[in-house]
Structure 1
């Protein structure tokens, strides 16, 4: 159950936000083999000057339309799998939105199941029916 944050410029309509979240979900299903209904996303919109990125770093240059997509995952993924999700994410965004590849910044962040709860204080590592 990866948990993702989507940071994008403010003022984007609801359909644009979905057009960014859906490609992320598709990439997670295809590359991390998560269930299609495992959707845990938080969308943050930032005013001008609140989303600060080095516009020329590596994959740039990026623009004012840059989106940042950190994914927190509960199980380790290989470097190859992480690279595959980055490529798939860019491809999916290009197909469904007006976000160009240079404006897609992503990061896969690892955590353990003991680090996470998806409600009621039950850790994802707890056996079914047990509260930790």
Structure 2
């Protein structure tokens, strides 16, 4: 059920984007134990001049492979969220060659009433999920 919205610089190959999405989904499966078919991912590509990701004064170097990931999800708790950051960056480095310093994540938490998976119904509230 988490919705992942990836923001990347334009120019990556289809294969690279697929690896990025697959790696992130595997991290979701490992940490949040979502069902395998619970996969909602969007990629937005941006011109370099339209995509600025700085380091917030932390001295974190960025490269052209920088990824900004917005995760929309029910609350997962601080420990699981922190674990997700770690597992995600490990997978992205191992499987995609993306350095941990090039991964910025923002989690936006919401509640069950904020999700409809189709048919005009709130499946978490109706008990369908």
The TM-score normalised by the length of structure 1 is 0.88
CA displacement, residues 4-49 of structure 1 (integer Å, 9 cap, x when unaligned): 1011110211111111111110111111110112110011111112
| Alignment size in residue pairs | 128
Q: Offset of 1:120 from its aligned partner? A: 2.4
Give 4+ residue runs of structure 1 displaced > 4 Å after superposition. Answer: none
Q: Which residue in 2 is equivalent to 1:3? A: 3
Tell me whether 104-113 or 80-89 shows the greater mean CA deviation: 104-113
SS of the equivalent of 2:124 reads coil
Q: Offset of 1:84 from its aligned partner? A: 0.2
The TM-score normalised by the length of structure 2 is 0.90
Q: Note the residue ranges of structure 2 that are not aligned, 5 or more in a row.
A: none
- Trace 1:1-132 onto structure 2 (pairs within 5 A): 1-55=1-55, 57-58=57-58, 60-74=60-74, 76-127=75-126
Question: Considering only aligned residues, what root-mean-square deviation do their CA atoms show, in Å?
Answer: 1.6
Please state which structure has a larger fraction of its residues in helix.
2
Q: Offset of 1:62 from its aligned partner? A: 1.3
Tell me whether 110-119 or 88-97 shows the greater mean CA deviation: 110-119
Q: Offset of 1:56 from its aligned partner? A: 5.6
Determine the C-alpha separation between the residues in 2 that align with 1:2 and 1:64.
26
